[in-house]
Chains A and B, each alone.
Chain A
Amino acid sequence: MVTAVRIAPDGTLSLEAPYVGEAKRSLAEVADIQGSFTLSDVSVAYGREVVIEGVDLFIPPRAVTALIGPSGCGKSTLLRCLNRMNDELGNVHVQGEISLDGQSIMGRAMDPVELRMRVGQVFQRPNPFPMSIYDNVAYGPRTQGIRRRSELDSLVEESLKGAALWEEVRKNLKKHAFELSGGQQQRLCIARALATKPEVILMDEPASALDPISTQQIEDTIAELRSSVTIVIVTHNMQQAARISDQTAFMLRESLDTPAHLIEVGDTKKIFTNPDDRRTESYITGRFG
């Protein structure tokens, strides 16, 4: 499982992995693009039980990375490492090194509060706050201390447009968020995450509680966003992973008493048509999971 970033003497950067279309970019170009994660030898333990072991993974900026694998293989746990939400669960220990754009986010190296303004999250079930649509989207900016009405107004509009919800709610921004449908609520949650101008958005099965039409809208929204923000999405739906992601990572816990590993990661097309690992192939073709 390869994901070393190599810096050649001539100043070009190569990603030692077959899945990045343009394998070579100049350093300057890469420095400009924000929102890449590098995980090396990441392990996670709940108490004494190690649930994920030895994950090496590069998450490219401004692209969609899908985490797939059977239930209980630690996809969501790995996702929560990226915005330190595991800190909030208590008794979860993360080891190894994770960096965002080259800066470590582990331990004291990064304040989780600051990290989470740069790395947003959308949850499995829509979880808008019990307040108006406007106040939901403005929550993040207000947390950052933005109080000017005009600034908030434009951030709210921009974020709702980004989440493809603006046209539906523009006349009802004062309406209570709970009056929206499930699909609209989830897009509201995406807008809420966008409002802090994050570099990365983590999505934990964002469409699993929604009907097919709402799922389609969420996928369209992701397609719109991929050029401006890095997206890491956990999904159970393999067609969804195949449709929306650029890179796919397959995780597997082979038995209940061993930790999960990252089995294979690569360009989505390759993973779904010609995976290197036999286990990936069995999972993709529906032989288990």
Chain B
Amino acid sequence: MTRLTRARRARATEQLARVVTGLAAAAVVGAAVFVVAYIVKNGAGALDVGFLTGAPRDRGRAGGIFPIIMGTIYVTVATAAFTLPVGVLAGVYLSEYAPRTFATRAIKLAITNMAGVPSIVYGLFGLAAFVLTAGLGRSLIASALTLTCMTLPVVITATEEALRQIPTDLRHAALALGATKLRTIRTVVLPAAAPGIITGSILGLARAAGETAPILFTGAVFQMRRLPDSPLSQFMSLPYHIYAQVTSVPGWNRTLVWGTALVLVGGVSIISVAAAVWRSIRRRKVTW
């Protein structure tokens, strides 16, 4: 009889656990869906060809956001160009070559923590280091370098994490065939880890594309007559445009600002989804 009661109680606890965890998951999904739905509802009205291909008029209260989209693309691509090679190589060093000492562990921990430093701090650092000390002025390249500092920890950590997932046996298989360490990494380990590295990197770059604080002091401007034509040009950018509209334009056009937010979220989502699809195609082939 007691045994039966205990079994019943265990079943009830199990049910409760399912409900509690389910509610937590629903809250998270619900919040995300609400945010996206809200942006779409308010911003969808702004989306048309003129908005995506035109220049802003009347301080952004009318017209389009084409130069603003292009500015974000430029600065994000430049950030990727700096971040990916340095970040992946540093991750490979930390994971494959660095001696397993206390110092290495401390460095890894410091890098992980760097990802948590508030972005405004990176903005200040960028202003001091790239704009003033390096003499780059407020420019696209100074902003890209600042965003690189912010994104590097994410890419390094993602690379390290992805490399750690690769079974030791696979490395040993290559080494036992007489492959050098470099060849093992280049032909076996990195290709197998590529999906993880790319996913992590895209998450980091998506965050960089949407950041305002690091570009605020280092190169983003409110209004420009032309597209950036050199790395030393200033540039317009989606997140900064939203910030400037809301804080400094009296009577700002709500639909256009929501539309700008929708373009930012949509662009980042498309890239994330594309990466996820690519990864799942790869995953079907690669399992252990």
Contact = CB atoms under 8 A, between A and B. Distances in A.
Contact of A83 (B176, B180, B285): B176
Interface string A167-201: 00000000010100000000001001100100000
**Among B167, B173, B175, residue most surrounded by chain A Cβ atoms (within 10 Å):** B173
B177 A196 contact: yes
A120 B172 CA distance: 11
B167 A127 contact: yes
A174 B191 CA distance: 18
A153 to B, nearest CB: 19
A83 B169 CA distance: 15
Contacts of A144: 178
A83 B171 CA distance: 15
A58 interface: no
B146 to A, nearest CB: 37
A153 B268 CA distance: 46
Contact of A120 (B174, B176, B188): B176
Interface of B (DSSP majority class): helix
Given A129-B173, A130-B191, A178 B178 contact: no
B165 to A, nearest CB: 12
B173 A113 contact: no
B174 A139 contact: yes
B172 A196 contact: no
B287 interface: yes
A129 B286 CA distance: 9
B175 A127 contact: no
A121 B173 CA distance: 8
B100 interface: yes
B192 interface: yes
A192 B179 CA distance: 13
B183 interface: yes
Contact of A85 (B175, B180, B183, B192): B175
B112 to A, nearest CB: 23
B170 interface: yes
Given A88-B172, A90-B100, A176 B285 contact: yes
Interface in A109-147: 113-117, 120-121, 123, 125, 127-130, 139-140, 143-144
A116 B177 contact: yes
Given A130-B191, A143-B183, A192 B169 contact: no
A140 B178 contact: yes
Interface in B232-288: 285-287
Given A130-B191, A178-B285, A178-B287, A125 B178 contact: no
Contacts of A123: 169, 172-173, 176
18 contacts: A85-B172, A88-B171, A90-B100, A113-B179, A113-B180, A116-B175, A116-B178, A120-B177, A121-B176, A127-B173, A129-B173, A130-B286, A139-B177, A140-B177, A144-B178, A192-B177, A196-B177, A196-B178
Interface of B: 100, 167, 169-180, 183, 187-188, 191-192, 285-287
Closest 4 CB pairs of A and B: A117-B178, A121-B176, A116-B178, A127-B169
Given A130-B170, A143-B178, A144-B178, 18 more contacts: A85-B176, A88-B175, A90-B100, A113-B178, A117-B178, A120-B176, A120-B177, A125-B169, A127-B167, A127-B169, A127-B170, A129-B173, A129-B174, A140-B177, A140-B178, A189-B173, A193-B177, A196-B178
